[in-house]
Amino acid sequence: MINLEVPRKLIPLLHQTRGFAEEVMRPISRKYDRAEHSYPIELDLVSAVIDGLTDSGTGQGAGAAGATRSQDVPVEIAEIAGVAGVGAGRREPRANGNRNGTNLSSVLSVMETCRGDVGLALSIPRQGLGNAAIAAVANAEQKARYGRRWAAMAITEPDAGSDSGAIRTTAVKDGDDYVLNGEKIFVTAGERAELVVVWATLDRSLGKKAIKSFVVERSNPGFTLVRLEHKLGIRASDTASFHLDNCRVPARDLLGDPEISTETGFGGAMATFDNTRPLVAAMAVGLTRACLDTTTELLARAGVTVDWDRPPLSQSAAAARLAELEAEYQAAYLLMMRAAWMADNGRPNSMEASMAKAKAGRTCVDVALACVELGGPTGYAETELLEKWARDAKILDIFEGTQQIQLLVVARRLLGLTSAELK
């Protein structure tokens, strides 16, 4: 039976994470928004704390390096502000009972972290989206090698954005190596990460079935940083573009099965999204909560409060609007929790992950803009973080699959159709 209450054992972790978001992230949020491409050195201390808790085995959170599919490997990672690993801790479905594990603790800690700053959350060392990709499909030996290193993820190309199956970057086997050629854009934390998980095709003629992911060292001479992007939001996080020119990667750095399977096809690579989409939903839910909390405080100072015992039509327009936004938040929050719960309990969650990401991303954008409006001149000014959060919100409706792609995934699952049958 599904249980979406926050487990009591996770409450101390979430209190720590909320304190970190409010006391560490928010005070430096504006600083690194203005100083785009500058590395937030304050996060080194946070990373050291996470590593210390991991080494001691005293924590109870979940992260990219600690989440595992194995039934026999205990979860030892602790995160004050975990940002990756959702879905990687799956187990076989339980016949009875309810399990709240690494996936639930991951999304909840991410949610609390992003109440502080989404860009800074994406900049915490060794907690990148590439780490979630590794946790999703790497074998035990690869997880051991990569587990303590920072990994970004490179999927998008100039001619392959939302359609990941249209990837043109090639990987050709040459002895004990693969040779990669192509271009990758919009790589989150690409400049700062030590590793980049690059998606490439083994055979363009086979389409999605031949797409695999490879771990590429940032120091690889065939892997060149082309530029850093200037962005609307999440400016604290670097976004890079790369060129791969005869980039040689050892065959052991291919994630998952090297064989092209006509049965499973794109499934292995796409399993990454089942892990990262609830994570992005959690980012959006956290930012939504920050907007609502700040706006509630601003309105209260002006004498406007929501009376939850009265119908909206009997209250002021501002109070009624705030109540409506709270309802949208709750819907997004529960979808996020369901996707994580299903992963913890060994249930396929591809459709639910897309539902959570679609709802949370769109809700975050709508709520952030509405809160700017409700805040009036204060909402639009730099005296509060609302205007910044409105800019940050948009990316959460875009990356890891746009709103339209998520709706396509949900529709295909509901109707039982393939991507070829429903485009």
Shared-domain flag, residues 298 and 233: no
3-state secondary structure of 245: strand
Burial of residue 239 (number of CB atoms within 10 Å: 0-12, 13-18, 19+): buried
Shared-domain flag, residues 339 and 311: yes
Give the integer Cα–Cα distance in Å for 96 and 1.
8
Task: Report if residue 422 sits inside a domain.
Answer: no
Shared-domain flag, residues 288 and 326: yes
CATH of the domain at 281: 1.20.140.10
In this predicted structure, which of 35-39, 43-47, 85-89, 126-130 has the lowest mean pLDDT? Answer: 85-89
Shared-domain flag, residues 27 and 117: yes
Q: What is the pLDDT of residue 67?
A: 41
Shared-domain flag, residues 240 and 279: no
CATH of the domain at 195: 2.40.110.10
Shared-domain flag, residues 290 and 405: yes
> What is the DSSP secondary structure assignment for residue 170, as one 8-state letter?
E
Q: Which residue has the higher pLDDT, 327 or 101?
A: 327
Residues 6+ apart with CB under 8 A from 394: 232, 233, 365
From residue 414, alpha-carbon distances to 273, 302, 350, 355, 409 in Å are 18, 46, 11, 11, 9
Give the integer Cα–Cα distance in Å for 234 and 283.
12
Most confident of 22-31, 40-49, 134-143: 22-31
Task: Report if residue 221 sits inside a domain.
Answer: yes
CB 211 within 8 A of CB 167: yes
Q: What is the pLDDT of residue 69?
A: 37
Does the structure show a pLDDT above 50 at 183? Answer: yes
- In angstroms, what is the C-alpha Rg of the chain? 21
Closest CA to 341 of 124, 89, 165, 60: 89
Q: Please state the rounded mean pLDDT for residues 236-248.
A: 97
Q: What is the pLDDT of residue 274?
A: 85
CATH of the domain at 51: 1.10.540.10
Does the structure show a pLDDT above 70 at 57? Answer: no
Give the integer Cα–Cα distance in Å for 183 and 413.
31
Q: Does this model's pTM top 0.75?
A: yes
**Domain count of the chain?**
3
Q: Which residue has the higher pLDDT, 365 or 5?
A: 365
Domain boundary among the residues 203, 225, 255 is at 255
**Mean pLDDT score of the chain:** 86
Tens digits of residue pLDDT in 380-422: 999 999 999 999 999 999 998 899 999 999 999 999 998 889 9
Find the farthest-apart pair of alpha carbons in the chain and give their distance in angstroms, rounded.
74
Token match 């204060």: residue?
Answer: 378
Shared-domain flag, residues 58 and 138: yes
- Adjacent-strand bridge partners of 152: 196
- Adjacent-strand bridge partners of 240: 187, 228
Give the integer Cα–Cα distance in Å for 329 and 324.
9
Does the structure show a pLDDT above 70 at 347? Answer: yes
Closest CA to 244 of 227, 214, 219, 224: 224
> How many helices (H) and strands (E) would you count in the chain?
12, 8
Q: What is the pLDDT of residue 269?
A: 61
Q: Please state the rounded mean pLDDT for residues 143-162.
A: 90
Tens digits of residue pLDDT in 350-368: 999 999 999 999 999 999 9
The set of catalytic residues is 400
CB 136 within 8 A of CB 272: yes
Q: What share of the chain is helix, strand, coil (3-state, %, to 5)?
A: 50, 15, 35
Domain span at residue 305 reads 267-415
Q: What is the pLDDT of residue 1?
A: 59
Give the integer Cα–Cα distance in Å for 62 and 75.
7
Shared-domain flag, residues 319 and 360: yes
Shared-domain flag, residues 292 and 314: yes
Q: Which residue has the higher pLDDT, 346 or 115?
A: 115
Provide, rounded to the nearest whole percent, the portion of the chain with pLDDT above 70.
85
Task: Report if residue 260 sits inside a domain.
Answer: no
The DSSP string of 173-224 is: EETTEEEEEEEEEEEETTTT-SEEEEEEES-GGGGGGGEEEEEEETT-TTEE
